Structure 1
Amino acid sequence: MPGRHSVNDHPPLKIPARLEAVAQLADYLRASCADAAVAPQAAIDLELALVEAANNIILHGYAGRSDGTIGLLVRQGEGVVELELTDFGLPMDDGQIMMCRPFSLDDESGRGIQIIQSCIDLIDYRRDAGVNCLAMTKFFDPPAPTDILSAG
């Protein structure tokens, strides 16, 4: 989607890499989705994936460091939303975001990647010049023009 079907790129948001700041990312995404009439279930899936990814960046990428930041860029087009998270933490292992691993429902952690995979249609991770970039794309059926008019 970058540069192609984008109809609404929101200015990037940067937050400190602290668990208590993750709510700012979720609030920003919710407002962006509401502005663009993103389907409600798609917005919920995006928020869940975003929060899981941001928590993983803080807990694993920055591994307790308090000086990190997380950047969020939201791109929206007709029937598609792309989130791009950036950070300067430790890199993910090659292919980790795409691996399917068994997990126990009794475990208190270790399910974040599976949650992200279940909520997102396309996932891409790369590291370039010390910057981690996680792109997550969600497709949805856009509301019909009459739905938008009747909602207002």
Structure 2
Amino acid sequence: MNIKQFSINSEYKNVSSVCFITKTFCEDHIVPEATIREIELCLAEALNNIIKHAYKGNEENIINILLEYSENKFKIVLEDTGIERANLDKPTLEFDPEDVDSLPEGGMGLFIIEQLMNEVNYQRIGNKNSFTMVKNF
């Protein structure tokens, strides 16, 4: 098992850097390219959600990131001290793909994460939000 831990300020500009670090970590552990793309997409969605919803766009906060690789499994844990997330139930999106106006206003990011990851878990522990995503390959 290999672990990488680091923290970032809650700024949108840092999301691409985290994705690059994660991609490199995955490549170092021979994670399949298609899996890396799915991990990057889910990670970007989750980080953007933390910045937008937990921290309300305030850039002066910290997001702790843990990347963990074990054989055929990649785990990401994101921790923040922002607003507790309500309604993180598994989203179900109902819309007509032929009708752009019927696309939902929100929830697409969480829907994508739920579709691409094998395990998704959110917990409030004390004053921290902990969001875990696991991808098997």
The TM-score with structure 2 as length reference comes to 0.88
Structure 1 equivalent of residue 2 of structure 2: 8
Distance in 1 separating the partners of 2:96 and 2:65? 31
Match of 1:20 among 13, 27, 33: 13
Secondary structure of the 1:32 match is helix
Structure 1 contact 48–119 (Cα < 8 Å) conserved: no
Which 10-residue stretch deviates more, 13-22 or 61-70? 61-70
What whole-Å deviation, never above 9, does each CA across 1:17-69 have from its counterpart, x for those lacking one?
01111111101100110110011111111110000000011111111222111
Structure 2 contact 82–129 (Cα < 8 Å) conserved: yes
Structure 1 contact 15–24 (Cα < 8 Å) conserved: no
Secondary structure of the 2:20 match is helix
Secondary structure of the 2:48 match is helix
Gaps of 5+ in 1: 1-6, 141-152
Structure 2 equivalent of residue 149 of structure 1: none
Secondary structure of the 2:22 match is helix
* Moved >6 Å (runs of 4+): none
Counterparts of residues 1-152 of structure 1 (less than 5 Å): 7-10=1-4, 12-94=5-87, 96-102=88-94, 106=100, 107=103, 109-110=105-106, 111-140=108-137
The TM-score with structure 1 as length reference comes to 0.80
RMSD: 1.7
Distance in 1 separating the partners of 2:22 and 2:39? 8
Aligned residue type for 1:25: V
What count of residue pairs does the alignment treat as equivalent?
132
Cα gap change, 1:66 to 1:104, in 2 (>3 Å): farther
Structure 2 contact 10–57 (Cα < 8 Å) conserved: no
Which structure has the larger Rg over C-alpha atoms? 1
